[in-house]
Chain A
Amino acid sequence: MDSSRELILDHMKHPRNYGALADATHIQNEVNPACGDEMKVYVKISGDVIKDISYEGQGCSFSMAGGSLLTEHVKGKRVKEVSGMSEDDMLALFRGPVSPARLKCALLAYGTLRKILSE
Chain B
Amino acid sequence: MELRADFPIFRDSTGEHPLVYLDNAATTQKPQTVINRLTEFYAHENANTHRGLYPLSLVATDAYENARVVLQKFINAPSADEVIFTRGTTEGINLFAYSWGRTFLQAGDEIIVTEMEHHSNIVPWQEAVRATGAVLKWVPVKDGELDLDVYDSLLSNKTKLVAVGLVSNVLGTINSVKEITARAKKFGALVLADGAQAAAHMAMDVQDLGIDSLAMSAHKMYGPTGIGALWVRGELLDTMPAFMTGGNMIEDVRHDGAVYQTRAHKFEAGTMPIAEVIAMTPMIEWIQNVGFEKIRAIEDEVTRYAMEKLGAIDGMIMYGTKNLSHRAPVFPFCLSDVHPHDVADTLGSMNICVRAGKHCANPLHNALGVAATTRASLAIYNTTDDIDRLVEGLNEVKRIYE
Contacts and interface: CB of A to CB of B under 8 A. Distances in A.
Interface size class of B (residues with CB under 8 A): 10 to 19
B400 A36 contact: no
B191 interface: no
Interface stretch (A39-47, A56-64, A71-79, A87-95): A56-64
Interface string B332-371: 0000000111100100000000001110001001000001
B342 A61 contact: yes
B400 A35 contact: no
Contact of B342 (A1, A33, A60): A60
B372 interface: yes
Question: By CB atoms of chain B within 10 A, which of A9, A58, A61 has the most?
Answer: A61
Contacts of B400: 1, 9
Interface string B212-230: 0000000000000000000
B interface secondary structure, majority: helix
Contact of A34 (B342, B357, B401): B357
Interface residues of A, number: 15
Given A9-B400, A58-B371, A61-B339, A35 B356 contact: yes
Contacts of A115: none
A60 B401 CA distance: 11
A60 B341 contact: yes
A102 interface: yes
A9 B400 CA distance: 8
B343 to A, nearest CB: 9
A109 interface: no
B358 A35 contact: yes
A60 B358 contact: no
B341 A102 contact: yes
A60 B374 CA distance: 12
Nearest to B365: A36
Nearest to B400: A9
B345 A102 contact: yes
Interface string A85-119: 00000000000000001100100000000000000
The 7 closest A-B pairs by CB, nearest first: A36-B371, A60-B339, A60-B341, A61-B342, A35-B372, A60-B342, A36-B372
